[in-house]
Structure 1
Amino acid sequence: MDGGGGAAATAATKWRTDASRAFQYYLDRSTPHATGRWLGTLAVAAIYALRVYLVQGFYVVTYGLGIYLLNLLIGFLSPMVDPELDPSAAVDGPALPTRGSDEFKPFIRRLPEFKFWYAITKAFVIAFLMTFFSVFDVPVFWPILLCYWIVLFVLTMKRQIVHMIKYKYVPFSIGKQKYGGKKSGASSSSSKD
């Protein structure tokens, strides 16, 4: 009789391993397709928002989701090595240049874009699943939660922007100079004439 239970456990373990491997395969294949990934996440977020709107509840779940997303955003906008928190670590690893004469070092995020996307998508899916259990539908006056979240967002972003200005970094590649390649030799010789 124990042989049947052992075979079922082995089959369940094999199925879980195969499912995990297939999930990781498709996750790895989605890595270079950032626009498609984010569009999918926007679709999941829209479905969640529609669900909350139609049910007229689960505001505490939405508030918790908002706080979690704000925490992820701070990790996404922060450098891997923060000179304000640990100045000694700046010597060992990649750090932000603090003076104009410092060598250029690229901005390395504490939370990479792929992990940021994955965590946001997973959070929306979990929050969506929570809307099917009435235990999470705590009655609350939602405008207070919304006001409190907006205050938290403004204060947190203000602190982050002040940090960016103080240490002179921009966490986005929009507007940064890019290498344009070598200029042709003919244009440089004609400019000497």
Structure 2
Amino acid sequence: MDPYGSSDSSRVFSSPYTRLGILIQRILDRVTPFIGVRWLLNIVLLILFLLRIFFLQGFYIIAYGLGIFLLNQLILFLTPKQDPSLQELDNDDGNNVPILPTRANEEFRPFMRRLPEFKFWYTSFKACIISLLLTCFTIFDVPVFWPVLVMYFFTLFFLTMRQRIVHMIQYRYVPFSYGKVRYQGKNDVTTSMGNVANSGIKISAK
């Protein structure tokens, strides 16, 4: 018993949960650099979920909920942290808010997502695991007419992605860094010139 009259039982019961949280965080820190492996794991879980839905011929409402959740996470992943349309409204009101550069001579600002890549993966991973677990309980197998859900989902996907693509074209930004041109800095150019000079000296010495 402590001076305030509470027992140490709460500490005993909370200790395993604290250790579990530390263990999970340690595992997440180790898998953070392996982007391809992480997303491959999510794809495998999603395929397993779809196969389970196909063979059980049920749990369509769970599949629909998972699809809507993943679509929402994807939209947040493709959305910039500072929406240019909202920034334009703030500038019209007289507030000096920095906007994305639209010319080559303007200051470069990297694309910052509203939902970072790791959080996008982690929430998708948990959603797939929870969806697989829910298919183990028949209480969640609500009878629905699944073609309507499929048609509604693809319609919603088309409309939201079309709106996001129009937004990208209007404000001229790309939410992906793959394939972009990388320019050498001053230090990189100096280092490369030094390497060429050193290689020339060695060749002449021979």
User: Which residue does the alignment assign to 1:120?
Assistant: 124
Matching residue within 125, 147, 151 for 1:143: 147
TM-score by length of 1: 0.85
Letter in 2 for 1:151: T
Q: Counterparts in 2 of 1:1-193, with a 5 A limit?
A: 9-87=10-88, 88=90, 91-92=96-97, 95-99=99-103, 101-180=105-184, 181-182=188-189, 184=193
Tell me whether 78-87 or 68-77 shows the greater mean CA deviation. 78-87
Q: CA deviation at 1:163?
A: 0.3
* Identical positions, percent: 48
SS at match of 2:13: helix
TM-score by length of 2: 0.80
Letter in 1 for 2:78: L
Deviations 1:131-150 (A, max 9, x none): 12222211111111111111
Q: CA deviation at 1:184?
A: 3.4
CA distance in 1, matches of 2:75, 2:113: 10
Structure 1 unmatched ranges of 5 or more = 1-5, 188-193
SS at match of 2:168: helix
CA RMSD of aligned residues (A): 2.4
Deviations 1:45-64 (A, max 9, x none): 12211221121111111111
User: Which residue does the alignment assign to 1:3?
Assistant: none
Aligned residues: 182
Please tell me whether the aligned partners of residues 97 and 167 of structure 1 are also in contact (alpha carbons under 8 angstroms). Answer: no
Q: CA deviation at 1:36?
A: 1.1
SS at match of 1:161: helix
